[in-house]
Structure 1
Amino acid sequence: MTARLEITPLPYGEDPLAYFQALRQRPGAVLLDSGKPAAPGGRYDIISSDPVSVLTVDGKGVIRIDGEVQHGRDPFMAQQTLLESLALEVPSNDLPFLGGLIGYWGYDLGRSLEPVGNSAQESVCLPASRTGLYDWALIQDHQRQESWLVATAERRLQVMEWLRGSADPTSAFGLLAPFTGEMDRDGYARRFAAVQDYIRAGDCYQINLAQRFSAPYSGDLWDAYLRLRLATPTPFAGFMAWPSERGEQAILSLSPERFLLCESDGHVETRPIKGTRPRGGTPDEDWQLAMELISSLKDRAENVMIVDLLRNDLGRVCQPGSVRVPQLCGLESYANVHHLVSIVCGRLATGKRSLDLLAAAFPGGSITGAPKVRAMQIIDELEPSRRSVYCGSLGFVDVRGNMDTSIAIRTAVADGEHIHLWGGGGLVADSNVEAEYAETLDKIRHLMQALAQPKHQEE
């Protein structure tokens, strides 16, 4: 039986925090956060909970829907089938999400697509992918300054009751010990040298090498997300948490990078980031660092390599001749860093769907290297542990074919009693080991500092 979605206006808020606070203890609660009012570039917040079904893919590629094993299917096809099972009559409307999948696709889901290897250890044991099928959403449009509840009549009554309830108080988050790295400076340098050997041998042009930092913690992960959001508001942020046999698992993402946008009319867009400098301590220093980045031939070359890779990925599912680059190496500035950002666009070919696009381009080329498959094999060889959610993607795919996903960088992952952060960067032939090591820390130092605040310093 098909249920009709209705769109109900709600009071508008400058950020999504109050709405999500009221819902965050609901099963499967998810927040896709535009970072407003502080972050540049974002527009929509999307909140939901109580999914109709949950599809997971474990580290061995086993697919489960609501705990039941699904045989003989690849993850993206299984997600497409689940999406098509959502029987909703949707109104004509330009809101981005009218029911569908919300969740994440971890970096290691790429193992189901390409022969990556199996050297890295699975130390962080979140599912390789976890997507819920949601039949309602609370959406805020910060451009129009409007908020909407998208739900069936029955579901609307439930959600309004949840929103009227008293929100559970947020308890304090705290680290029980400082973050420690999985590799020291010498360990990074050895891996850097191995990458240079592969580049000189002609295996690859660029490799994204990352390192992981971990710390034990106690307290409320929502409080941790609020700290991170305050320290570095970004336009493609997100929070989701759920219970597991290992304890609470969660994703706290403060990503500045869009991976893939696909609109129901077939328009496709990706915004790769390559090239980074820290923000300066004074306006003059900040301007000098930005100009240094813009004029850096090395950083521009890295960016152009990834643009070429993504043009190829999009070309696999887009109409011939439709892929173009309207922005190459544009400067974008965030709370802690300057970035070079390009835009690659295309138009989805007839018969192709959003999840076909995601599979064709997954994982994002900006966090693998070029050529992609060989880069992923070298990453698996050199990084001690699998990346888990890091460098995967968070986002949604709705019943009309709309999709918007991020690259899960600047992302904390909680697994049981520990929280993890990764920092990485693209290495090319003329990279400098000290500069690259420093860049991995520049990207996440502010996240570590925000999480390390004593509890009495909370905002």
Structure 2
Amino acid sequence: MSSRFSPEAFEEAVLTIQEYIRQGDVFQVNLSLRQEREIHSSPERIYEWLRQLNPSPYMGMLRSPGFTLVSASPELLVKLDGERVSARPIAGTRRRGNTEQEDTNMATELLTNEKERAEHIMLVDLERNDIGRIAAYGSVHVPELMSIEYYSHVMHLVSQVEGRIAPEKDAYDVIAALFPGGTITGAPKIRTMEIIEELEPVRRGPYTGSMGWIDYNGNMELNIIIRTLAVSGSKGYIQSGAGIVIDSNPYREYRECHNKAKAIIKAVICSEEEMRAANLVGRKG
């Protein structure tokens, strides 16, 4: 894997964000890096491997002219089911432990880490505010706060924010209020997006957009495009980010970005090894 965002450049970007925080511009910025490599397998086989290695609640594959997305997203941007609007923000990540005890220790540390808790609460409040823009007065609530969700290579701190859509609002109002998700921009949204544009060496493209469905009754379910491989020609692109706050450690945030990409990279490698093995058998036959 190669990246235009070197560890040194990433660290410099983190320090720049922390200076913006000190100046009062922002509270948190989600900084991402993109890795790329040649792909010697099909998106379909990579997706099948990803389903085995890292099953996630908002998986999908999308073909579009010029590129294909293979997604194992764990994050819901928004769901509208009748009158009920819900979002499920993720903020706070640790790698999986090598043993059951280490896994438990990592989860306990994540749940009790003051930095992670403060960052998570801030982003939950941002989601509450966004849903409040299209919800009936007094209907916004948080039925689940700071639970741990486990995936193959990482664990996340997750909450559920819900509200009842106002009678005069519809699905398109909901998208306008919540997109893009606050967990992948930071807070406040507009200023953080300006800083992301300034500091990230490449445009995000489909990364941190949304994929999902809207039906004829106005119900919908949209993910956030993270943990996703974008394939264009023979090139594959994987982008992942970390939330930067005033006391973030640049090296730790850089490693978090790489940890989030591990499941996709493993799926690519497994699918390529499978294809090489099949070609070898074919030649012998």
Instruction: Using structure 2 for the length normalisation, give the TM-score.
Output: 0.93
Q: Larger relative CO (CA 8 A, sep 6+): 1 or 2?
A: 2
Does residue 189 of structure 1 match 2:11?
A: yes
Deviations 1:321-370 (A, max 9, x none): 11111111111111111111011100111121112101111100010000
What's the counterpart of residue 38 of structure 1?
Answer: none
Bigger shift: 234-243 or 293-302?
234-243
Identity %: 41
What's the counterpart of residue 234 of structure 1?
Answer: 56
Does residue 419 of structure 1 match 2:236?
A: yes
Question: Where do 1:423-442 residues align within 5 Å?
Answer: 423-442=240-259
Q: Which residue of 20, 24, 33 corresponds with 1:211?
A: 33
Structure 2: 5+ residue stretches without partners: 278-285
Does residue 282 of structure 1 match 2:99?
A: yes
What's the counterpart of residue 215 of structure 2?
Answer: 398
Describe the SS at the equivalent of 2:138. coil
Give distance in 2, aligned partners of 1:240 and 1:423. Answer: 19
Does residue 198 of structure 1 match 2:20?
A: yes
Give distance in 1, aligned partners of 2:267 and 2:234. Answer: 18
What's the counterpart of residue 224 of structure 2?
Answer: 407
Aligned 8 A contact 2:39 2:268 in 1: no
Does residue 258 of structure 1 match 2:86?
A: no
Describe the SS at the equivalent of 1:240. strand
C-alpha displacement of 1:216: 2.0
Residue identity in the other structure for 2:70: L
Does residue 316 of structure 1 match 2:138?
A: no
Q: Which residue of 180, 196, 199 corresponds with 1:363?
A: 180
Aligned 8 A contact 2:49 2:271 in 1: no
Give distance in 1, aligned partners of 2:273 and 2:127. Answer: 46
Aligned 8 A contact 2:97 2:103 in 1: yes
Give distance in 2, aligned partners of 1:455 and 1:342. Answer: 36
CA RMSD of aligned residues (A): 1.4
Q: Which residue of 24, 36, 47 corresponds with 1:225?
A: 47
Does residue 384 of structure 1 match 2:208?
A: no
Deviations 1:18-59 (A, max 9, x none): xxxxxxxxxxxxxxxxxxxxxxxxxxxxxxxxxxxxxxxxxx
Deviations 1:165-186 (A, max 9, x none): xxxxxxxxxxxxxx21121100
Q: Which residue of 116, 119, 128 corresponds with 1:302?
A: 119
Describe the SS at the equivalent of 1:312. helix
Q: Which residue of 245, 264, 267 corresponds with 1:447?
A: 264
C-alpha displacement of 1:209: 0.2
Deviations 1:88-139 (A, max 9, x none): xxxxxxxxxxxxxxxxxxxxxxxxxxxxxxxxxxxxxxxxxxxxxxxxxxxx
Does residue 330 of structure 1 match 2:147?
A: yes
Aligned 8 A contact 2:41 2:272 in 1: no
Q: 1:197 to 1:242 in 2, by over 3 A?
A: same
Residue identity in the other structure for 1:312: N
C-alpha displacement of 1:188: 0.5
Give distance in 2, aligned partners of 1:433 and 1:346. Answer: 36
Question: Where do 1:102-181 residues align within 5 Å?
Answer: 179-181=1-3
Give distance in 2, aligned partners of 1:204 and 1:346. Answer: 26
- Higher-helix-fraction structure: 2
Structure 1: 5+ residue stretches without partners: 1-178
Q: Which has the larger radius of gyration?
A: 1
Describe the SS at the equivalent of 2:222. strand
Give distance in 1, aligned partners of 2:40 and 2:151. Answer: 29
Give distance in 2, aligned partners of 1:435 and 1:219. Answer: 32
Count of paired positions:
276
C-alpha displacement of 1:454: 6.8
C-alpha displacement of 1:243: 3.8
